[in-house]
Structure formats: structure tokens, C-alpha cells
Amino acid sequence: MSKKGKAMRQFIDKIPDSKLEGGFGRGTVHNDFKNFRLDNQGLTTAKNGEVQKYNLQMQVNYSPIMTSLEAMAPDTVAAVLVPVYPPTFSAAQIKDMLMADLIRRKH
């Protein structure tokens, strides 16, 4: 696994569970102030009976400490849609979905 991939996975692992439970305000959910942040990009539009979902995106910070990430800023490296109601996903499940999206995107 590359250093970048390892750093991405460590960021996800270190997100406090409390920040992933109970809903999300608009903007940054968690920031390590080094390389990455998890942002709520807003809500999806409820269509065809589906519920609205939070659009959570893990992004590379501008001027990251890990210089090999600079070219990726402010790209999204992982994303997940989390239903607003009912709150069906635990913090562990959200982290698992972010990890799965990292793998899908080949990070």
C-alpha cells in the first residue's frame, strides 16, 4: 500500500465516532489540519420516494503536510451518501463505506 493510501485509511480510522452519529451540519465534519478533511457537501434531492441523504466527501486539504498529496488538492478521494432519516448507519458503517470507496477509486 502506498504512503498516500495508508494516510487516507488512517484519517478515516481516526475520525471520532461522535462526529459520525446524530446528523451533520453543513461544512466540515472533521479536519486533521494536516492532509484531509471530511465535508458535508449538502443534501441530495429526495426523488421517487427515496429519502434525502447527506453527501459526505473526504477531500485533500490545500497545502497538505504530505507533499505527494498536493496535486490532488482539493479533490474528493472518497464519498458516501448517508440517509437523513431514519439514521440507519453507525459510525463504523460510515467508516467502512468510506474505506470501500477509497478502494473503488484505487487509492
1-50 residue pLDDT tens: 799 999 999 999 999 999 999 889 889 999 999 999 999 999 999 889 88
pTM comes to: 0.92
What does the pLDDT read at residue 97? Answer: 97
The Cβ-side half-sphere exposure at 44, using a 13 Å CA radius, reads 18
Q: 102 near 9, Cβ under 8 Å?
A: yes
What does the pLDDT read at residue 95? Answer: 98
pLDDT above 90 for 86: no
What does the pLDDT read at residue 52? Answer: 92
pLDDT tens for 50-83 read 899 999 999 999 999 999 999 999 999 999 999 9
Taking residue 20's Cβ as centre, other Cβ atoms within 10 Å add up to 23
What does the pLDDT read at residue 79? Answer: 98
**In what helix (H) or strand (E) does residue 98 lie, and over which residues does it extend?**
helix 91-104
Q: Maximum CA pair distance of the chain? A: 44
**What is the C-alpha separation between 21 and 33, in angstroms, rounded?**
21
